[in-house]
């Protein structure tokens, strides 16, 4: 008999407090948040054949979206169509676009994998994905403790390869030192890079005629920033930061062109090109048909669809509509950026459900793509909309031989 796509293996030995302390020592310091259990103590085990299909799909979709981003590059009408803020247009035009497959060196797909094993891409965070510590540090430890194979062990190696090419001298996030998740994320990336890199607070940066300095007056020339590039359009210093990049005084990593991949509008562009029979070859079209969802920049569905901001994050701005076209559910916890950026409309896809100590949860499957290679799973469990109140769930893979 075929096993379920996902199985929950809960930890039977107790000692969650000791595990939280151990994970904190390893760099995962937000397993508990404000007395709430963010990390659920157990493992969601994915069937091996489903993982292998997911891995192949990730590589194929990475190529499809890379091809689409290059098609959009330099076309201002398409920049506008996918919601790229105008303040970024000159920067995107002036800076050479990176090599094939490397527009973003640090990204994460979010997939809906159903209880039947149907795989559909929901979105791609190609600019500032978090969840790295959970995937690269906590997941292997939790899986090892439960005797479950992990596919995440190579993530640090891929980070070292990516950062070895980009060679940032600085890593930055907002509220460095006080925001646990973002601070821990850049610290882990720096540690895994093997490089001597300073961590700083974005809010302490100054820019004078294109020269960027940290709070101690040190000039920054190459920076990894956990700072969404679309916010250059609304932040007070956004124009100055864009000018620094345009004039070559600051090199950003991820590359500015990652915003082309980041925009959910690119998925609508891919679907439109697919329907028109443009750009993509037969293999691309098969991947789009099998793993992408019909997505448009207008509400063309009669029902059973999702609307979300082209630059929504952590579930913010997501609204679910039922088969009759009525609003069924909307995220009320994340920041709704739909007032600032255009929206897309996407056919709904079903998330698998899994029983946990917190009850039955919808399970979202993340797949990191680092240095152009799919290399690590991230599980998150919550309601039908996976927002910033969802739980982290370690995700392992059952070898195919054990499924028989």
Domains identified in the chain, total number: 1
Report yes or no on 131 lying in a domain: yes
Sequential pLDDT tens for the chain (404 residues)? 578 999 999 998 878 999 999 999 999 999 998 888 999 999 999 999 999 999 999 999 999 999 999 999 999 999 999 999 999 999 999 999 999 999 999 999 999 999 999 999 999 999 999 999 999 999 999 999 999 999 999 999 999 999 999 999 999 999 999 999 999 999 999 999 999 999 999 999 999 999 999 999 999 999 999 999 999 999 988 999 999 999 999 999 999 999 999 999 999 999 999 999 999 999 999 999 999 999 999 999 998 999 999 997 765 689 999 999 999 998 777 677 777 889 999 999 999 999 999 999 999 999 999 999 999 999 999 999 887 789 999 999 998 766 54
The verdict on residue 164 lying in a domain is no
What span, in angstroms and rounded, lies between the C-alpha atoms of 111 and 245?
32
> Which residues have CB under 8 Å from 334's CB, separation 6+?
312, 313, 314, 315, 316, 317, 318, 387, 388
pLDDT at position 316 is 63
Establish if 297 belongs to a structural domain: yes
Quote the pLDDT of residue 403: 55
What is the token pair recorded at 290? 């099998």
pLDDT attached to residue 214: 97
Number of alpha carbons in the 13 Å side-chain half-sphere of residue 127: 20
CA distance 168 to 98: 16
What DSSP letter does each residue of 316-330 carry, written as one string? TT-EEE-TTS-EEEE
What pLDDT is attached to residue 388? 75
Q: Is the CB of residue 397 less than 8 Å from the CB of residue 140?
A: no
Q: What span, in angstroms and rounded, lies between the C-alpha atoms of 326 and 334?
A: 21
Are 380 and 393 in contact by the 8 Å Cβ rule? The answer is yes
In a domain, 190, yes or no: no
The pLDDT score that the predictor gives to residue 331 is: 77
Domain assignment present for 81:
yes
The boundaries of the domain holding residue 365 are 6-152+261-403
198 within some domain:
no
Distance CA 14, CA 36 (A): 17
166 located within any domain: no
Q: Which helix (H) or strand (E) holds 42?
A: strand 39-47
Q: For residues 389, 390, 392 and 396, what is the CA-based torsion angle, rounded to 10 degrees?
A: -170
- The pLDDT assigned to 330 comes to 87
210 within domain boundaries = no
């Amino acid at each position: 008999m075929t096993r379920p796509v996902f199985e929950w293996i809960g930890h039977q030995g107790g000692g969650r407090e000791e595990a939280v302390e151990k994970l904190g020592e390893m760099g995962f310091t937000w397993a508990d948040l404000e007395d709430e259990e963010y990390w659920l103590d157990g493992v969601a085990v994915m069937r091996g054949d489903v993982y292998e299909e997911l891995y192949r799909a990730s590589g194929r979709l990475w190529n499809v979206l890379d091809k689409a981003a290059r098609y959009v590059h330099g076309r201002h009408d398409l920049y506008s169509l996918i919601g790229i803020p105008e303040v970024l247009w000159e920067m995107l035009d002036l800076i050479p676009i990176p090599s094939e497959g490397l527009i973003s060196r640090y990204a994460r797909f979010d997939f809906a994998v159903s209880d039947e094993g149907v795989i559909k891409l929901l979105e791609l965070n190609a600019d500032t994905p978090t969840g790295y510590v959970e995937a690269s540090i906590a997941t292997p430890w939790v899986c090892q403790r439960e005797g479950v194979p992990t596919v995440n062990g190579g993530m640090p190696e891929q980070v070292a390869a990516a950062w070895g090419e980009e060679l940032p001298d600085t890593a930055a996030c907002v509220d460095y030192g006080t925001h646990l998740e973002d601070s821990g994320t850049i610290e882990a990336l720096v540690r895994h890079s093997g490089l001597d890199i300073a961590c700083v607070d974005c809010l302490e940066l100054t820019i004078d005629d294109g020269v960027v300095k940290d709070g101690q007056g040190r000039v920054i020339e190459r920076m990894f920033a956990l700072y969404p590039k679309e916010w250059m359009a609304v932040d007070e210093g956004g124009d100055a930061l864009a000018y620094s990049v345009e004039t070559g005084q600051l090199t950003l990593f991820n590359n500015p062109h990652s915003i082309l991949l980041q925009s959910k509008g690119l998925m609508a562009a891919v679907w439109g090109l697919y329907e028109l029979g443009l750009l993509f070859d037969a293999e691309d079209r098969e991947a789009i048909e099998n793993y992408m969802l019909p997505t448009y920049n207008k509400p063309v569905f009669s029902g059973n669809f999702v609307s979300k901001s082209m630059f929504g994050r952590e579930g913010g701005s997501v609204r679910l509509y039922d088969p009759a076209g009525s609003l069924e559910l909307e995220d009320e916890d994340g920041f709704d950026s739909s007032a600032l950026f255009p929206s897309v409309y996407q056919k709904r896809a079903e998330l698998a459900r899994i029983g946990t100590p917190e009850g039955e949860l919808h399970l979202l499957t993340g797949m990191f793509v680092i240095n152009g290679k799919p290399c690590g799973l991230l599980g998150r469990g919550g309601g039908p909309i996976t927002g910033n109140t969802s739980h982290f769930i370690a995700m392992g893979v059952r070898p195919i031989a054990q499924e028989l």
